Amino acid sequence: MTDPKQAYDVIILGTGFGGAVLATILARHGKRVLMIERNTHPRFAVGESTIPQMTMGMRILSVRHDIPELDHMSSAMRIRKHITSSCGVKRNFGFVYHRPGEPQRPAECNQVGANHGDDSESHLMRQDIDAYYFYTAVKYGAEPRQNVQVTEIEIEGSGVRVHDSRGNVYRGRYVVDGTGYDSILARKYGLRDAPTRLRTNVRSLFTHMVGVEPYDDHVEPRGAHRMPHAWHQGTLHHIFDGGWLWVIPFDNHEHATNPLCSVGLQLETHKFPRPEGVSPEQEFRDFLVRYPSTAAQFAGAHAVRDWVSTGRLQFASTRCFGDRFGLLSHAAGFIDPLFSRGLANTVEVNGALATTLLAALDDDDLSAERFSAVERLQQNLIDGNDKLVASAYIAFRDFELWNAWYRFWGLGSFLAMFRLRSAKMRYDESGERRFLDQLDDPPCPGRVAPDYPKFNALFETAVAVVAEVEAGQRSVASGRDELFAMLRGIDYAPPVYPWTDPNLRSSVADQAAVERVKTWVATQAPTDIKQLYFDVKTHAWLDSAPRDTTHPETQP
Ligand SMILES: Cc1cc2nc3c(=O)[nH]c(=O)nc-3n(C[C@H](O)[C@H](O)[C@H](O)COP(=O)(O)OP(=O)(O)OC[C@H]3O[C@@H](n4cnc5c(N)ncnc54)[C@H](O)[C@@H]3O)c2cc1C
């Protein structure tokens, strides 16, 4: 175990996006890394819709570790140029509310922009993205083993031994588990919290299809929703009491080469228990009949692979780190595809873990205590995401409640994004790495707004208000009114978005929004927000921020 020529510094189990990106970073720093994968790349994976915290997070990791390939994920155009043409564009988050047995009401929808001129967030064809990062890790020196079944893992004071079904024994100093839901180490050490502390209780059916038509083509009259962007240009969420359906097209731009569209239906288990003897495909078709306005875009659609029908999606772990081992984000816990936070959490945890692990290897201190800050981050991400998502499912019972609740997600996301952008801007202006390193150590790690406790307190109160609606202690109208009153009562929400007007249901971060924010910073913004996000060269920051401009494809 002590022979440095034979032992790896880190053995990574599972080489999805999470494992491969971490392997790349560790190998880039000269660590001896072994990657063990039970499949062979490219292989199917879900987790396809990106958010700015994730793409900006990859850009920051790229700078911090001097790995240009990590920046290739930071926008749709970069992905197309450097990785693959098989991904779609995500120019908006679209939410369209449906009632059973009724045509959709055009006033009941919301849209949040994710468009930057020609560029945007992305719909990831994960098999291609994951393969790219697996090969990138190999390029930087990580050793690959694919199609390998791990049979045993021994973790002792002096090191780690991983056995495979071919009789090989790999020795290392530390083992990282990136095997996701079916985490090997969570099973070995009984790390799952059971019964789980999580509130969200949802199952999922998903597949890839061909022939899914733009929802916009079936809205009567066309453009009736009066939204800034076409729905098909973004991740479309058909939401309803008890669940939601994702539509994630990969063929939604002029350079598209991939005809597939990802489709996934989430159902609260107590409202929609799994029907006996009904195939997932039939369950999906039955859903389309129940919510008639969802059906037309799938009339000519066919699945290209078997539907996956899951049990409850949510899981968490009582702990994620032990002596000489750690779990990546998706091995530690998962809540729901809603709000697309899985990969963002993966990137955030990978960033904190990489820094901690590199230093711990150098110090030869691989104890659980050394990773306590990353443990806290993971646990807070899981719990915060659970509150966000569980409250959204409660809000789905009534469009007006949802129309209030999703603004808390939006505001929290803007603050989290401002945090990353301003850190990067400060680094660009000064060349001082501390602005990026500080991201590992915010006052509220893993919270919705990691460096702004005031918002997190507001968020907790909003979660409690929504819970009162669920418990029958408040009417829906009272909950909705209270949420809007709370938003009206704060002075720190940058006016990117019409936070407090229920009738304004969409946002675009266009030039007008930038000008609004500039004026607000100059005249009204509280000092703490200015210091956090806008103190240095405010206008340079805002002027360089990506913004929404009209693009022919975006027109509804
Ligand atoms: C239904 C659903 C929808 C989602 N949608 C989104 C979304 O829209 N946006 C988003 O950001 N996130 C989403 N997520 C979350 C996202 O999928 C994860 O955050 C992401 O896949 C994590 O990457 P990973 O590499 O850690 O894990 P995974 O992608 O799960 O990769 C695990 C890897 O480990 C390998 N493996 C498994 N077991 C073993 C073993 N015993 N030995 C060796 N190798 C093994 C697997 O083959 C795989 O390659 C979604 C998740 C689900 C379940």
Cβ 324 vs Cβ 377: under 8 Å: no
- To test the pocket of ligand 1, the residue of 11, 128, 179 to mutate (highest count of ligand atoms within 8 Å of its CB) is 179
d(CA 256, CA 240): 30
Atom 14 in ligand 1: which residue has the minimum CA distance?
A: 47
Q: Is 47 in the pocket of ligand 1 (CB under 6 A)?
A: yes
pLDDT of 411: 96
Element at 543 (helix H, strand E): helix 538-544
pLDDT of 317: 98
CB burial string 394-430: b at 16+ within 10 A, e below: bbbebbbbbbbbbbbbbbbbbbbbbbbbbbbbbbeee
Q: Is 145 in the pocket of ligand 1 (CB under 6 A)?
A: no
Q: Is 18 in the pocket of ligand 1 (CB under 6 A)?
A: yes
- pTM value is 0.96
Ordered DSSP codes for 369-414: GGGHHHHHHHHHHHHHHHHHHHHHHHHTT-HHHHHHHHHHHHHHHH
pLDDT of 201: 98
Q: Which amino acid is at 503?
A: N
**Ligand 1 atom closest to 179 (CA):** 34
Cα of 454 from ligand 1 centre, angstroms: 33
pLDDT of 2: 45
- To test the pocket of ligand 1, the residue of 12, 17, 40, 184 to mutate (highest count of ligand atoms within 8 Å of its CB) is 17
Q: 10-residue block means of pLDDT along the chain (556 residues)? A: 67 98 98 98 97 97 98 96 97 97 97 88 98 98 97 94 96 98 97 96 98 96 93 97 98 96 98 96 97 97 98 98 98 98 98 98 97 98 98 98 97 94 90 94 95 97 98 98 98 90 90 88 93 73 67 68
Residue 51 backbone phi and psi in degrees, to 5 = -130, 160
Q: Is 342 in the pocket of ligand 1 (CB under 6 A)?
A: yes
**Ligand 1 atom closest to 183 (CA):** 38
Cα of 546 from ligand 1 centre, angstroms: 29
pLDDT of 202: 98
- To test the pocket of ligand 1, the residue of 185, 343, 349, 385 to mutate (highest count of ligand atoms within 8 Å of its CB) is 343
d(CA 426, CA 430): 6
pLDDT of 536: 62
**Ligand 1 atom closest to 206 (CA):** 1
pLDDT of 518: 87
